[in-house]
C-alpha cells in the first residue's frame, strides 16, 4: 500500500499539555501505529499542510494551467511547480490518509489550498461538454480515502442536530471523487469544546474505529497475499 498522509491541523501532536494536542493528528498516528503493530507493509509520503500551507492559486497559476505544457514559459512552469509536485504525490498513492479539524464548519483553508493546487484539468479531471450537464470526469481511479477528523461541537453525522452545518466531510467527499477516490472510510471525534464525558466517549469510539479500519486493511492484505500464493 502506498499511503499519502495529509495532515491539516494547525496544532501539533507533541504539546506537553495533552489537551492542546491535535486530535485528528493523533487519530492518524493511531492508524499508522496499528499498521505497524500488524506488520503491514506500506510506503508513505507525508504532506503537512497544517504546518506548511500550500500557496493559494492565482491568475498566473490559472493561465499556466491552460497553456499547453510545451508552450509554458519558465515563469509559468515555476507557477505550477508545487501543483506538479502535489499531483505526482497523489498519482503515486493508492491511499490517502487525511487528518483534519473542522474550522468554521468546513475544512481548514490550508487543506482547501491543497485541493485547489492538486486538482488540474487534463491531469486529475477532464472537461468535455459532450457529457452534457456533467462535463467533468475524474482521470484517476481506484484510490481509497481514510478521513480522520475532529470537531468542537457535535451532531454533524447523518440525522444529527448539526447535519446541515457540516461542510467538512461532504465537501471533501465531493472533491476526492474527482481525485480518483472510490472507497472511503471516515472517523470523526466530536465534542472537543465540551471536554466532558461525551467527548471522552467520542474519543474512545473514534480510536477504536481507526484501529478497526487498520485491522481490516491488514486482514485484506493477508487474504490478497494468500490468494496470490495459492
Ligand atoms: C479556527 C477554529 C475554528 C473552529 N471552528 C469550528 C467549527 O466551526 N465547528 C466545530 O464544531 N468546531 C470548530 N472548531 C473546533 C475544532 O474543530 C476542534 O478543536 C478540533 O478538535 C480541532 O482539530 P485538532 O484537534 O486536530 O486540532 C474550531 C477550532 C478552531 C481553532
Q: What domains lie within the chain, and their CATH numbers?
A: 2-229 (3.40.50.360)
CA of 26 to the centre of ligand 1 (A): 15
Q: Where do we find the cell 493508492?
A: 94
In which band, very low, low, confident or very high, does the pLDDT at 179 lie, cut at 50, 70 and 90? very high
In which band, very low, low, confident or very high, does the pLDDT at 200 lie, cut at 50, 70 and 90? very high
Phi-psi region of 86 (alpha: psi -120 to 50; beta: other; left: phi over 0): alpha
Model confidence pLDDT, tens digit, residues 144-158: 999 999 999 999 999
What would the grid cell of residue 140 be?
484517476
In which band, very low, low, confident or very high, does the pLDDT at 228 lie, cut at 50, 70 and 90? confident
User: What's the pLDDT at 229?
Assistant: 79
Give me the half-sphere count of Cα atoms (radius 13 Å) on the Cβ side of residue 40: 27
CA of 188 to the centre of ligand 1 (A): 12
What would the grid cell of residue 52 be?
506548511
- How far apart CA 202 and CA 120 sit, in angstroms, is 37
Pocket test for ligand 1, best of 151, 156, 160, 210 (most atoms within 8 A of CB): 151
Pocket test for ligand 1, best of 103, 157, 210 (most atoms within 8 A of CB): 103
Read off the pTM: 0.96
Q: What is the mean pLDDT of residues 26-35?
A: 98
User: What's the pLDDT at 163?
Assistant: 98
Please provide the DSSP assignment of 93-110 as one string.
-SEEEEEEE-BTTB--HH
Amino acid at each position: 500500500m502506498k499511503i499519502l498522509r495529509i495532515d491539516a491541523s494547525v496544532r501539533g501532536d507533541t504539546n506537553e499539555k495533552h489537551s492542546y494536542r491535535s486530535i485528528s493528528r493523533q487519530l492518524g498516528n493511531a492508524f499508522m501505529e496499528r499498521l505497524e503493530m500488524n506488520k503491514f507493509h506500506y510506503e508513505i509520503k507525508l504532506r503537512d499542510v497544517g504546518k506548511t500551507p500550500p500557496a493559494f492559486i492565482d491568475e498566473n497559476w490559472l493561465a499556466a494551467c491552460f497553456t499547453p505544457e510545451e508552450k509554458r514559459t519558465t515563469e509559468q512552469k515555476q507557477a505550477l511547480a508545487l501543483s506538479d509536485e502535489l499531483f505526482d504525490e497523489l498519482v503515486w498513492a493508492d491511499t490517502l490518509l487525511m487528518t483534519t479539524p473542522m474550522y468554521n464548519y468546513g475544512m481548514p483553508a490550508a487543506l482547501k489550498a491543497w485541493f485547489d493546487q492538486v486538482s488540474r484539468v487534463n491531469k486529475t479531471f477532464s472537461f468535455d461538454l459532450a457529457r452534457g450537464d456533467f462535463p467533468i470526469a475524474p482521470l484517476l481511479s481506484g484510490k481509497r480515502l481514510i478521513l480522520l477528523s475532529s470537531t468542537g461541537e457535535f451532531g454533524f453525522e447523518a440525522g444529527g442536530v448539526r447535519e446541515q452545518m457540516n461542510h467538512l466531510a461532504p465537501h471533501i467527499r465531493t472533491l476526492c471523487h474527482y481525485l480518483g477516490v472510490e472507497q472511503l472510510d471516515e472517523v470523526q471525534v466530536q465534542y472537543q469544546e465540551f471536554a466532558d464525558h461525551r467527548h471522552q466517549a467520542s474519543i474512545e469510539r473514534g480510536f477504536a474505529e481507526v484501529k478497526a479500519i487498520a485491522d481490516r486493511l491488514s486482514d485484506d492484505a493477508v487474504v490478497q497475499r494468500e490468494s496470490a500464493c495459492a
